[in-house]
Amino acid sequence: MNESFGARLRARLDACGPLCVGIDPSPALLDAWGLDDSPSGLERFSRTVVETVAEVAAVVKPQSAFFERWGSRGVAVLERAIADLREAGTLVLLDVKRGDIASTMTAYAEAYLDRGSPLAADAVTLSPYLGFGSLTGAIASAVANDAGVFVLARTSNPESAELQRLVAGQVVAGATAANAGATPFGPVGLVMGATLTEVEHPLTDLNGPILVPGVGAQGASPADVARLFAPVRHAVLPSVSRAVLADPKRLRGRVLHYRDECAAHLTPEAAGRR
């Protein structure tokens, strides 16, 4: 890769529209698809999602936990899914939410961001709750490997609110500093939920992407995302999982529906119509 993560993400958003599709092969979804809760069911689910959405979604986000629960057999399925997505040109955001002290964080970065790793993704999710400074090694690895990170700031689950209100300002400040001077986006994005009632901290200087989960099954709509993040809508990446994964026969149609809805509310042309 010769382009930075920010440049690749910007190009992908412009080409495909602003949507991230999750791969969350939970036991409930495997059952809904008529698949066994087994590594073979996991592989059929993942392969179907990859083949269906790789060309129409800007970013695909496998949830690592649902693969890890099957040990090495599940991780092998995850490796193949990542490889197939990257071969198709789709950006892969691996949802791992890792966060630890410096030496351990460096090891996580080697696992998920080093170009030579079988699990190497375009970006990963990180947890900042050992201090934003604990992520320094991962951010450095992301830069060195033309990758990115998305740091939890204000997530969509309601039980997070009390804690995250206390530290979100520090997370936003840390990400903003790490992105200074980069174009079109810096390597550090934020995770901020679509179900928030307001965004308490200004994001206009962030200079990085914003992953916005909570669309669909959690009740938020693309219009909610546009309202919450109006000043930075060009940088927003709504994420949808269960709302498109529930029925394999409707998977592509639901992805296209959400992609078009997000584009209608979040592209610069949409901003001009409002």
User: Token match 């995250």: residue?
Assistant: 164
Q: Tell me how far the alpha carbon of residue 86 is from its chain's centroid.
A: 15
Within the chain, strands assigned E span: 20-23, 59-62, 91-98, 123-126, 148-154, 188-192, 210-212, 236-240
Cα angle 64, 89, 16; round to 5: 95
Pairwise CA distance, residues 30 & 19, whole Å = 23
SS3 212: strand
Please indicate whether residue 249 is annotated as part of the active site: no
Q: Out of 97, 227, 252, 257, pick the active-site residue.
A: 97
Q: What is the DSSP string of 222-245?
A: HHHHHHHTGGGGGGEEEEE-HHHH
Strand partners, 94: 124
Pairwise CA distance, residues 205 & 227, whole Å = 18
User: Token match 């997370």: residue?
Assistant: 171
List phi, psi (to 5°) of 72: -60, -30
> Which structure tokens are listed for 239?
């994420």
> Which structure tokens are listed for 169?
């300002």
Whether omega for the bond prior to residue 268 falls within 30 degrees of 0, making it cis, is no
How many residues comprise the chain? Answer: 274
In the chain, count of helices (H) and strands (E)? 12, 8
Q: Which residues are catalytic?
A: 97
